[in-house]
Amino acid sequence: MGQARIVAITSVFLNDPPIALLDEPFAGLAPEARKALVRVINSEKLKRSIVIVEHDIDTLFECVDALSVLSAGKIGQQITSPSDTTKIELMKSFYE
């Protein structure tokens, strides 16, 4: 399943879109498949903008340059340099 998803996502990049939207690309992937997909995204983000909708914040921090948290349809937080403190504050904001 993980390899099939990575191939599917990689095929999106083969069309060379200026912007790619990935919806929950890490959902259900085993740890090794997640690492492989992070490598693909890190390589492709040098060529285009990539918007990722994802709940796995730890994995997101491995492959994004900026993170926006949506709450009730509005941007609740924007983060450009993640740290452990930022992650803790971000997680708290989900439960407020």
Q: Are 73 and 45 in contact (CB under 8 A)?
A: no
Render pLDDT for 6-56 as a digit per residue (tens, 0 to 9). Answer: 888 889 999 999 999 999 999 989 999 999 999 999 999 999 999 999 988
Question: How far is residue 39's CA from residue 63's CA, in Å, rounded to a whole number?
Answer: 8
What is the CATH code for 1-56? 3.40.50.300
d(CA 12, CA 4): 13
Active site residues: 24
Delimit the domains of the chain by residue range.
Answer: 1-56, 66-96
- Enter the pTM of the model: 0.80
pLDDT tens digits, one per residue of 64-91 = 888 887 777 887 777 776 665 666 666 6
